[in-house]
Amino acid sequence: MAPFLKQTYSQRVANHSNPAAKALLETIERKRSNLCVSVDVTKKADFLRIIEIVGPYVCLVKTHVDIIEDFDFSLVEQLKELSVKHDFQIFEDRKFADIGNTVALQYSSGVYKIASWSHITNAHPVPGPSVITGLSSVGLPLGRGLLLLAEMSTKGSLATGSYTEEAVRMARANRDFVVGFIAQRRMDGLGLAEGSSEANEDFLVLTPGVGLDAKGDSMGQQYRTPREVVLESGCDVIIVGRGIYGKDNGANPEAVREQAERYRAEGWKAYQERIGSD
Ligand code: 5BU
């Protein structure tokens, strides 16, 4: 087992040089939360209301900014203010997947100017290393971090086997900017010979497909519990969307608060058990 699986989040700060990775680990430790809430709603008011409620319980807020129908740039300003007020990082789940030149433009420009406000973003490895070259030309000077999609939570995902291994190799070759993976388990040492010194590399693993009350949805999503994800699979951050704000876009604030607290507690308990300090 990789030795840092038993390290605390704060001990692991020293394993990273990227400022976004360090900030995320520090936030997790400070707030005793490895919970990321994915706020997938289409109205600004719902988006901000949910974040105001869950803010105290999360290390990270994940966005899909392009699904917000009444988007304008003031939303970004408000999101940034909430991230300072409640002490969380921001992760735009953009899943870039084009040639380097195009992803650099998509990341820096357009309506959303993602690089200007999102501490962390992600990319599909499918174009090869050039997707990292393009994104890092924008993000690295700003101190941003990138996650590669090494695996997905959906039924029938094609990101398996040698594709996943290639994703890890791409990350390994770009450690200044690639801070880890979206995956369902730890990726350390994948594709390396047994006993290789590189096998101790510390990548962050952020994991969607987390739910306590459902096993999936009607569109191929599959859920595992925080315990399965953090303790059994060694992942670092649980990503939860509808498990927290339900089917009604978080209309009941007390229910949203309760669920955020519940997932935070479950994720943290699983981590404490993992490092042996429960
Ligand atoms: P849910 O409501 O907890 O199912 O939302 C999960 C979120 O994580 C949603 O925003 C997805 O786009 C995102 N996600 C995922 O579910 N599975 C994946 O493999 C990846 C992202 Br990558």
Please give, one letter per residue, the 3-state secondary structure of 59-73: CEEEECHHHCCCCCH
Q: What is the CATH number of domain 3-275?
A: 3.20.20.70
Q: Residue 25 and residue 195: Cα distance in Å, rounded? A: 27
How would you classify residue 244: left for phi > 0, otherwise alpha for psi between -120 and 50, otherwise beta? alpha
pLDDT at 194: 75
Residue 251 has pLDDT above 90, yes or no: yes
Annotated catalytic residue within 22, 31, 93, 188: 93
Decide: helix, strand or coil at residue 233: coil
How do residues 58-103 score in pLDDT, each as one tens digit?
999 999 999 999 999 999 999 999 999 999 999 999 999 999 999 9
Q: So where are the chain's domains?
A: 3-275
How do residues 180-198 score in pLDDT, each as one tens digit?
999 999 998 887 877 777 7
Per the annotation, the verdict on 93 as an active-site residue is yes
Residues flagged as binding site for substrate: 40, 62, 153, 221, 241-242
pLDDT at 199: 67
Residues with CB under 6 A from ligand 1: 38, 40, 64, 93, 149, 152-154, 182, 208-209, 221, 239-243
pLDDT at 70: 98
**Residue 257: burial class (beta carbons within 10 Å; 0-12, 13-18, 19+):** middle
Place of tokens 């059994």: 232
pLDDT at 85: 98
The tokens describing 144, both together, are 């941003």
Residue 29 Cα, ligand 1 centroid: separation in angstroms?
24
Q: Residue 224 and residue 113: Cα distance in Å, rounded? A: 33
Choice from 40, 54, 155, 157 to test ligand 1 binding pocket (greatest atom count within 8 A of CB): 40
Annotated catalytic residue within 43, 44, 87, 98: 98
CA angle 274–84–121, rounded 5-degree value: 65
Q: Residue 206 and residue 184: Cα distance in Å, rounded? A: 8
Residues paired with residue 178 on neighbouring β-strands, in sequence order: 146
pLDDT at 110: 98
Residue 195 Cα, ligand 1 centroid: separation in angstroms?
34
The tokens describing 185, both together, are 């388990």
CA angle 22–25–27, rounded 5-degree value: 105
pLDDT at 278: 59
